[in-house]
Structure 1
Amino acid sequence: MSNANTYQGSCFCGAVRFTVTGEPVAMGYCHCESCRHWSAGPVNAFTLWQPDAVQVTQGADNIGTYHKTPNSYRKWCKSCGGHLFSEHPGMGLTDVYAAVIPALDYQPTVHVNYQETVLHIKDGLPKLKDFPKEMGGSGISLDE
């Protein structure tokens, strides 16, 4: 594949490195309590990829996994604690946190789980109560 569509990423200290290849399936913001708590922020910027597009190139043995629910297997670096990505088996996708792939032209298109927001964002993007219908949600839009 072309290098133009391959992006380098890493944890905070650089012990774990990975690439994502191609283009993400979706990009947006998640406002759910779980993502907010995990990211220690009021909102989480996500990029969703097909699992085979994500390749760990260094430090695979240094990746820790935590799953509070079967919906998300959250991955982080055991050395620095830097968050890397979450595997979502039910969706068949991997969420690579936008902040860890700096060269990607992040173009969010949606806010999900906006019913749980603690930070109201007026950016003109759709605000979904939970998830799009095609991802098992209600697809209900909320006002900005």
Structure 2
Amino acid sequence: MKTVLKFALAAAVVPFFALSTGTNVAAQMPMPDACKAEASAMKGMGMSGGMQMGQMADHQKATMESMQQMHPAMMQAMMATDPDVAFVCGMIAHHMGAISMSEVELKYGDDQQAKSMAQKIIEAQKKEIEEMTTWVNDHAK
């Protein structure tokens, strides 16, 4: 199986595992109230009802584009018949999304601490992607 296909197949495993195991990640690790308040402000702009990309700020557009690229790959991953391959490939897609979102922070963010977190995420996630890619190449059938 080609690496790209393996990656695409496994990219959906995170939401799949959460649904299939009954794990409620949000209940275990709730979103900070400050994040909820920021998201609530978007509801008034129609975000949940279909806010148009043209109405978004540049950083919002960039983040949405990275998420739109990540989610199809993650959803494909749940189709992998091997749960280990599905998990690892799903995590590769998830990490690629984290890198993309971190790059948006570096480009548009102002806070040096947030930018430092973004840079650390990029470095850590790239290393983990390399490790997971090696694992997939060695273990996928």
TM class, shorter-chain normalised?
Answer: under 0.3
Provide the TM-score with structure 1 as the length reference. Answer: 0.25
Query: Relative contact order (alpha carbons < 8 A, sep ≥ 6): 1 or 2 greater?
Result: 2
Q: Higher helix share goes to which structure?
A: 2
Q: Higher strand share goes to which structure?
A: 1
Instruction: Give the structure with higher Rg (CA).
Output: 2
